[in-house]
Structures are given as structure tokens and as C-alpha cells.
Chain A
Amino acid sequence: MTGTLTRLLRVLITLLSHHRRHPLQTLFLLTGLVTGVALWSAVQVINAHARASYAEADQVLGAQASHWVRSGSGEGVSVDDYVNLRRQGWRSVFPILEQRLTTADQSVINLIATDLLALPDEEAGTATGLPAGGWMQLVTPPHEAWYPETLAQQLGLEDGDRLTLNSGKALPPARVFSREQQGLRVFMDIGAALTLLDRSHLSYLVVAELPGDAAARLSRDLAALNPDLRLVANQQRLDLTELTQSLHTQLAAMSLLSFAVGLFIVFNAVRFSLSARRHTLTTLRELGVSQRLLLGAIALETLVMSIIGTLGGLGLGYGLSQLLLPSVAATLQNLYGAVLDYTLLVQPVTVLQAWLLTSAGLVLALAWPLWRQAQRSLQDQRDEPSQWQQDQRARRRLALGSLVLALLALGLYFQLNSIAMGFTVLALILFAGAGLLPWTVALILRGLQRALPASAWRLNWACGEGLAQLGTLRTALMALLLALTANFGVDSLVDSFRTSLSDWLQQRLAADLFVQSDTLDIDALLANPGDWLVESHRRNGLTVRWENRPTQIRGLNTDTSDTRALPLAAETDRSSAWFDGDPDVVLANEQARYLAGIELGETVQIPVGQQTVAFEVVGFYHDYGNPAYQFYLPYQRVAELWPNAGEQGLGLWLNDHDDALARAEAALVAAGARPGDWTRREDVLAISLRVFDRTFAMTAAINALTFTVAGIALLASLLAIHQQRLPSYAHWRSMGVSNREWLLIAGLPLGIGLLVTWLLSIPLGTLLAGLLIYDLNVLSFGWTMPLIWQFEPARSLFWLTLLVAGFTFAISAVQARLKLPQALKHLGEDAA
């Protein structure tokens, strides 16, 4: 037993000695593993974090509310009104106070307070993460302030510490929680908070559940109690987990792509090292080491590598996720209104998954080739086909495999019905393209060789050299193709989206001024406007639940110029009735069409109070980026069906006099609007596009990272190529090949390979963008847009590739030049 173990260790040490002798190869192997795992785990960490945040958001006080009670004037809900409501029997209403506070040392914190006693026991328990009754200290003097751990760390607080505010007052003694339960906010009892902050008004009231006609009754009671109070449906009450699913799937898919690119580096490094390790393996076998023992040692080496790779990858991934999180948070916030805090958790399951993934990758890229090499090593080496022939065979097999993948993709495509399936098709296409690449490059090189005249013998030689390099260059080119395709595809998607969105916004935001005001008396403004006003468009609306989703009802003025110009994605011949104000027809957004599955001409039942009202769907409009279903009805119709529908903004067209804006602003102020309630068209547009760009910042970041990994793969294989080809280069030198000739012959193949890769990435990327836009986008978000193909991303990717390739080639060429004198001295010897 111990004998076997000792022998195993000895074999392992012999195997591992390779890494000491070739540190650069090992470095690349680990780089591939670490970067691949890092990107994957970064996204994994973010996704896990987001899921935790959503679960938490569902529990955080108030987020599960079906409605809010808010004050129209913005001054808050008085404690007296709240107490009166509770007295009237509204038990499901509880108070929230939210306040930003500045501490004595100028940090800003957010305070949230509620009345835990008003919450049902069960909810209080889940909301605070405390066992029932654990909150007694919170509500009884001297009270407590509860801090999430990360916040406490930032502020340097420990249990029992009192935080001093810049007003000189101190919060109650701190209690630090190891779990997040209130975002990054400090939690207090409402009574204590009101006293401490010296306030008589609550921020708003939360209404947990309003069964039956309770909403209408509460509305009436509120009106009777205080006309300033409004019942507002909670539009944020989305099932975030479900809504954001597709985004997280996309992130996961992108991270797996990065991992695949990382694996290419590993594969590259291993392939390169195999030839060097063949001798060791042969020797070991000749020395009588059994296959079992060798397999055990290879498995152990793989294990060692996988542990190093996993730990390194997770460490780097954690750092990366911290870099990516703000942009992911922005995306989620902008697309779904989901709020993510910035603290990350690494869960044990992520570690385990990362390790499994790494091990699987290593078995594929390291252990399997090593094992095959070990088995083969005792066969007559002379029978082994030349390296070049092996490469050729591998290329052919890859191309055939690609064909199979492509066929599989095609077959799956016609049954596409889920996002996961969509990504499978994408992956199949990407890998099919990658597998076809080496074969294509070889085909072109050979075609060039054949087509070139005898006088172009240098080019012919370069093509030949390219074929010789291809075996090593191939994986890097494939990795690069994946990165280029993903970049081009996603860039095309984002560009299309941006162009569509901007056109759509231009059309939608036709008015010169947009007013959103709680205090403006619109009737008064429009009753007697003056000649500065050319046209106005008034909207109202509310959110109802339809088909189990928050669904927006919007009332529009149907005869305004912007409504008249509304482009429809699809319509029936009855669509003109809607524009004429027909009360029984409705326009719906594409989300309702693709996600809820309603069709043109169909009748939909929209809930109005306790009943539903039937409308005929006569058209669908684009509604980019909206996670909710939406219906357009005439303004009057909405006002009549839902008397408590709120104003959703007012669009004003001004005449072209110089003073029109000034006069409009004066009129707005006169009618009760406050400065800041209106925005000019250009500003709205700019803000929207800025939001858009922030939303897609993450995509760009991940793309850039994938490209970096591909760049590393390229560097690794160029170094490997020049290492492998060094004896040949030395021999050329001995024939008197000049530096310039060498650069041409050794460098041109890379240029050709890159050019073919780049060229191939354009149709592949277009295909990718097409799939993303026409299929996956519809499946995930429920809206369509045209694919706007542009050459621009391809052009910039070309320069980027050239830059990366030039840089890596220069490094590897300098390396080769430095080693050349040594190689020249060993010219006559057997190449090891």
C-alpha cells in the first residue's frame, strides 16, 4: 500500500517536474484556467447575488405591498391619518419612514423604519430575519438600530455602538446582523425614529393585501380622511426572479463562452507541452510504471491544477464581479426596476460548481490528451504519422464535427421555444463556426499555394509555413473567432437596439416639453393657454394585474399629432377606430402579444374594479424595454373606467417664437407646477439614451473581457509556435534568410489566419445578432426590432485584433529572436 503510494508520488513528481522546467507553459495553462473560471464565477456570483437580492426584495418591508398610500403634495402621511386608518379597521396598512441621514463624519446612510407591531407576526419574522419576539429590544427604550454587516463594517460599528449624526444626535445602540435583510439600510422602530428625527409625517403607508373591492373602499376612506392622500398601486411589485430570468440566462451564457475561450488556452498550453512530455511518459512506461499508476498520477496532477485554477479563478472572479456589479445593477435597475445592493456573497455551491467546471475542462483539455499520449507512447514511434499529418486529420475531424453541430443547430432552431434552447442553438452555431475555421484557413492557404506563380516563392513558403503553424495556432484562432463573433453579434444587437430605441423615442417624444407634476392643475393650464401652445397631449393611467403580471393601462389623446403618427408593429383593418376614439378597441404592446400570447382581433378582458371589461385588440405597438404588459386606450375612456387613474404626464408643443418657452414656463408655474416638473425634449432624449448606455455597459465589459482572454490565448500560441518552430527558424537562418524575410514568412500566416477569422466572424456575428434579435429577444423580452446591420463594429474589431495580434506577435518574435542564437548552436541536434 505505502509502496504504491510512494511510487505514485514519485511518478507524480516526475510528471510535475515538467512544470518547473517549462514555467511559461504552466503559466499559460493556469492563466487559461484562472481567467476562464474567473469570468464564469464572476457572473455566477453576480447571478446568485441578484437572486438573493430578489428574494430579499420580496421580503423587505413594503416591497410585497399591493398598494401604497402616498400624499399628493409630497409632504408625507401624517401619523394622525395613519392612526385613524388603523382605527377604521385597515389592519393591513403599516407605516414606513425612509430618510437619508448624514453622519458626523459625513457618510450618508439610509434609514428605514416601520412599526413592527403593526406587521403580522409571520411577516415581521421574515422581514427582519429574527425569530418572533426578537425585536422586543427594538421597540422598547433605549431601542436599537439594526445594521447589515457590510454597512456596520463601513461605518466601523460594533454591537452596542451609537452612531452620531451631523445634527449631533445619536442613533440607538447598534445591533449588527450577519445577513442582509434591509438592503444597505439602517433599520429602526418607527416611534423611535420619529422622535429622534423630530418628524410628524411618515414617508408613506404600505398596504399588504386588498382583497375584493377593498381597494375601492380604501380609496373612498382616504378621500374622506384627507384629500391629499392617494392610493397608488405598487408597480414595482413584479416577480423579479421571473422577469429577470432571461437577463441572467444571457449573462450565464456569456460567462460560459468566456470559460470556453479560457479552455482553449488550456488546451493550447497542454497540446504544446505534450510533445515535450512525451519523452517523460515513454521513459516512465519503459521503466515499468503501470498504466494504472500513470493514470492515477495524471488524475492527481489534474486535481492539483483544478484546485489551483478554481481558487485563483474564484479569487479573480470575485474581484471581477465587484467591478461588474455596478453595471449589472444599472442594467437591472433600468430594465426591471430591480434594486441590487453592492455587497457580494460567495456561496459554497459556487465554489463547488467552479471546481466541477474546472475539473471537467481539465479532464477534457489536460488529462485526456495526456492519457492518450501515455497509452500511445509504447507503440512504435516511427509508425506515428507526422505532426503535420495529425494536424491535417484533426482539422478534418473538426470540420466534420462542425457540420454535425450545424445540422443539430438547424434542427433545434425549428423547435425553438425556450431561452435555454435558444442559447444552445447559439452555442452550437458558435462552435460549429469555430470548428470550421482551421479547415477553412488550411483550404485558403493551400489554394493560395496553388494559385501563386513560381516567382512568388516567398509567399508560397509563407503559406506552407502557415500550414505548419496551424496545428498550434488553430485553438487560438478558434478562441479569437468566438470572441470576435460574440463581440460583433452583441455589438450589432446593441446598435440595432439603440437605433430602434432612439427612432422610437424621437417619434414618441414629439412634444417640446414634458410635464410630470403632482401639483399642476392641468385643466386650468389647458383652459386658457395663450398662443404659445400649439398642441397638448395628456396621458393618464394606472397599473392593474392582468395575466398574473403588472399591466399598465395608459390613456392617450387619440387625435394629437404624435398619436396619429404612432407606428404599429401589426394592426387589423379596425385600427383606425382606435384613433377615432372607439371605446371598445384597444392597442397593446408587443409584450402582450409575444409573452401573453394575445392575437390581433382577439378580445381581452381587462380588470376594472371587481369586473372585467372586454376590448378588441386592433393593433400592437413597439414598447422597448418595458417589462410589463401595456394597453393604450383613449384618455376619456380610462378616466371613465378608473376614476382614480393618475395623470401620467403632459406633452406640450410650443410655437416657434423665441419667448415661447419662457411663456410656457410662466404659465406652468401659474397653474401650480414647480420648477423641475418639466423637461425639454432634448433632455428627455439624452437621459433615455444615457440610461440605455448604462444598461448595456455590462455587456460591453464582458465582451471586452472575453476579448482579453482571446488575446492571451493568441499570445500563448504564438509563443508556443515560435518555440516549436525555433529549430526550423534556426535552419532558415543557417541558409541565410534575412530578418525581413523571416518576418514575412513567420508573420504572414498569422496575418492570413487573422484575416480569415475576422472575415468569418462577420457572417457568424450577423447570424448571432439575428438569432438574438428575432428569436431570443422575443422569447425573453417579448418585443421585436429590426436588425440594423452596420460594418462599424467589424471595422473597430479589425483594428483591435490587429493591435492585439501585432502586440502579441512582437512579443513572441522578440522571444524567438532572443532564443535564436542558442537554437543555432543546437541545429544539428535532435529536436526534443
Chain B
Amino acid sequence: MLRLNQVVKHFAQPDGDVTVLSGASFHLPAGRSAALLGESGSGKSTLLHLVAGLDTPDAGELVIDGHSSLSMSAGDWNRLRRDRLSLIFQQYHLVPTLTVLDNLQLQARLSQRLDPAFRDHLIDRLGLADLTRRLPHQLSGGQQQRVAIARALLHRPALVLADEPTGNLDEATSERVMGVLVELVRETGSSLLMVTHSAHMASFLDEQWRLQHGQLHQQHDQYNGEPAL
């Protein structure tokens, strides 16, 4: 599903070049979920951006859903994001003037993969049934993030990329949102790559990876993880 081969990324900074990724390699099979851990500034978000085609690597190759980063145009990336990927951030990025229903259907409509039955199922599973006619500002943070999750899953993406999706929420809410996200991703059959600071959150997922000194290392962690294939 997702493969990174010797990916290199530098940033030019006033105090000299910073190498964020120095030949990172990684493999995530279809249908599996991985947590990406690492210290602040280690390059987690950068890596996620590279995977989503929002930024380009300086060297190395990424293969997403069978597409190689070496042969993709901006348009290809755009279509790939629309049809096969979805992104979830700490900010919910809901359109403030559209109803909850319109918001959560947005990407599915863009990719013309709106399945009403699945939509109703998602709404039900995320506990949004009574909220569909509301506007985003009439929701709590956790509710808004659940709308964002529904939006990210409705078109049945092959790969969900999440960057600290619960960073803005309190612990209890975070846990509930995480739980339902992981479950739904499994149900949908998508893969999930999620950046998080919290080892506890990471423990919800199949694999745990750590980004350190520009390299990715899988952690055979102390919670419940089994090594990846």
C-alpha cells in the first residue's frame, strides 16, 4: 500500500541546511495501521506531507497505492489524494458555512464515490445522527473531529493519513475518537498512518514506528504490538 525507499528531505534554514529525512525506508501493507512517533521537530509531519504529495522529496521514492512518486504529475497527485487518500489534522478544517451533512459528504462528492448507505452507517457509528443539520460552530471539538473523520472515510480511501488528530481534545474525548477511528478504518479496509506523540494512542494501532535522526525504526513495543511482516 505504502512504501518509502531511501527518502531524503532537506530544508534550507537561516542557520544552515537541516536534513529531516536521510534515507528513510518504510513499508505499510494494505489494511494495516501504523503509528509514527518521534520527538518534536523530528520530521513526522514532513514525512506525512511527502506521502500525500504536498511536498516533494529530494531523493528516494515513495510508492502509494501502486503509484510511484517518480512518475506522478501535480494533477496525478491531486487525483490520487481525491480518490485514494484522506488527511486528518488537528484542525478540523470544516467549512463553517456548510451543514454537518454537507461537510462530511464533501470529499466523497469530489471523488464521486458517495455511497448513501455507507454514509448513514458512518453517521450512525460516529454518533452524528442528531447533528447533521447543524453548522460546525454549533458542535464541540470532539464532534467536529468526528465529522472530519466521517469526511475522511466516506469515499473509502486506500490510505488515511492523520497528523495528531486528537491533539486539540482532552484525554477522554481523544480516546473515544481514536477508538472509533481505528475501528472504522479497519471496517473500511483502509490503511492508516498516524502521527502521534502519545505512546498510549500509538498502542491502538497495529505497528509503531519511530522517526529518529532522519531514519525510521519499527518499535517492537512493550504494549501489545507484534512485529510487522
Is chain B found bound to chain A in the same assembly?
Answer: yes
Q: Are A388 and B110 in contact (CB under 8 A)?
A: no
Known contacts: A461-B98, A828-B45. The answer to whether A736 contacts B91 by CB under 8 A is: no
Q: Are A825 and B49 in contact (CB under 8 A)?
A: yes
Residue A734 interfacial (CB < 8 Å): yes
Once the chains are docked, how many angstroms separate the CA of A225 from the CA of B135? 97
Interface residues of B in 42-96 (CB under 8 A from A): 45, 48-49, 52, 54-55, 75, 78-83, 85-87, 89-91, 93, 95-96
Residue A827 interfacial (CB < 8 Å): yes
Q: Are A827 and B97 in contact (CB under 8 A)?
A: no
Once the chains are docked, how many angstroms separate the CA of A733 from the CA of B85? 12
CB closest chain-B residue, reference A824:
B54
Q: Are A736 and B78 in contact (CB under 8 A)?
A: yes
Residue B102 interfacial (CB < 8 Å): yes
A148 to chain B, nearest CB (A): 61
Highest count of chain A CB atoms <10 Å: which of B48, B75, B85, B109: B109
Once the chains are docked, how many angstroms separate the CA of A464 from the CA of B135? 11
Known contacts: A386-B96, A731-B93. The answer to whether A457 contacts B105 by CB under 8 A is: yes
| Interface residue tally for chain B (C-beta within 8 Å) | 34
Of A468, A727, A824, A830, the residue contacting B97 (CB under 8 A) is A468
Q: Are B137 and A389 in contact (CB under 8 A)?
A: yes
Chain A residues lying within 8 Å of B105, measured Cβ to Cβ, are 457
Once the chains are docked, how many angstroms separate the CA of A731 from the CA of B107? 11
Chain A residues lying within 8 Å of B80, measured Cβ to Cβ, are 736
CB closest chain-B residue, reference A464:
B97
B70 to chain A, nearest CB (A): 19
A408 to chain B, nearest CB (A): 33
Residue B175 interfacial (CB < 8 Å): no
A733 to chain B, nearest CB (A): 7
Q: Are B106 and A461 in contact (CB under 8 A)?
A: yes
Q: Are A736 and B95 in contact (CB under 8 A)?
A: no
Known contacts: A461-B102, A464-B95, A465-B97. The answer to whether A736 contacts B55 by CB under 8 A is: no
Of A385, A389, A736, the residue contacting B79 (CB under 8 A) is A736
**B103-135 interface bits toward A, Cβ cutoff 8 Å, 1 = contact, 0 = none:** 001110111000000000000000000000000
Of A731, A828, A830, the residue contacting B163 (CB under 8 A) is A828
CB closest chain-B residue, reference A734:
B87
Dominant secondary structure at the A interface = helix
Q: Are B87 and A728 in contact (CB under 8 A)?
A: no
Chain B residues lying within 8 Å of A465, measured Cβ to Cβ, are 95, 97
Q: Are B95 and A468 in contact (CB under 8 A)?
A: yes
Residue B206 interfacial (CB < 8 Å): no
Once the chains are docked, how many angstroms separate the CA of A385 from the CA of B135? 13
Q: Are B95 and A735 in contact (CB under 8 A)?
A: no
A391 to chain B, nearest CB (A): 10
Q: Are B137 and A727 in contact (CB under 8 A)?
A: no
Q: Are B89 and A828 in contact (CB under 8 A)?
A: yes
Highest count of chain A CB atoms <10 Å: which of B54, B105, B111: B54
Of A461, A824, A828, the residue contacting B95 (CB under 8 A) is A461
Of A386, A387, A736, A741, the residue contacting B81 (CB under 8 A) is A736
Chain B residues lying within 8 Å of A737, measured Cβ to Cβ, are 78, 82, 110
A366 to chain B, nearest CB (A): 27
Q: Are A464 and B102 in contact (CB under 8 A)?
A: yes
Chain B residues lying within 8 Å of A388, measured Cβ to Cβ, are 96-97, 137
CB closest chain-A residue, reference B109:
A457
B114 to chain A, nearest CB (A): 9
Chain A residues lying within 8 Å of B164, measured Cβ to Cβ, are 828
Chain B residues lying within 8 Å of A457, measured Cβ to Cβ, are 102, 105-106, 109
Chain B residues lying within 8 Å of A741, measured Cβ to Cβ, are 110
Once the chains are docked, how many angstroms separate the CA of A71 from the CA of B145? 96
A239 to chain B, nearest CB (A): 60
Once the chains are docked, how many angstroms separate the CA of A733 from the CA of B52? 11
Chain A residues lying within 8 Å of B110, measured Cβ to Cβ, are 735-737, 741
CB closest chain-B residue, reference A468:
B97
Q: Are A734 and B81 in contact (CB under 8 A)?
A: yes
Chain B residues lying within 8 Å of A818, measured Cβ to Cβ, are none
**A806-832 interface bits toward B, Cβ cutoff 8 Å, 1 = contact, 0 = none:** 000000000000000100110110110
Q: Are A735 and B102 in contact (CB under 8 A)?
A: no
Chain A residues lying within 8 Å of B102, measured Cβ to Cβ, are 457, 460-461, 464
A474 to chain B, nearest CB (A): 14
Chain B residues lying within 8 Å of A467, measured Cβ to Cβ, are 97
Q: Are B81 and A831 in contact (CB under 8 A)?
A: no
Once the chains are docked, how many angstroms separate the CA of A830 from the CA of B83? 26
Q: Are A734 and B54 in contact (CB under 8 A)?
A: yes
Q: Are B91 and A830 in contact (CB under 8 A)?
A: yes
Once the chains are docked, how many angstroms separate the CA of A385 from the CA of B48? 32
Q: Measuring CB to CB, which residues of chain A are less than 8 angstroms from any residue of chain B?
A: 385-389, 457, 460-461, 463-468, 727-728, 731, 733-738, 741, 821, 824-825, 827-828, 830-831
- What are 30 A-to-B residue pairs whose CB atoms are below 8 Å? A385-B137, A386-B96, A457-B102, A461-B95, A461-B98, A461-B102, A464-B95, A468-B96, A728-B93, A731-B87, A731-B89, A733-B54, A735-B82, A735-B87, A735-B107, A736-B78, A736-B82, A736-B83, A736-B85, A736-B107, A736-B110, A737-B78, A738-B78, A824-B49, A824-B55, A827-B87, A828-B89, A828-B90, A828-B163, A828-B164
Q: Which 5 A-B pairs have the closest CB atoms?
A: A736-B82, A464-B97, A467-B97, A731-B93, A824-B54
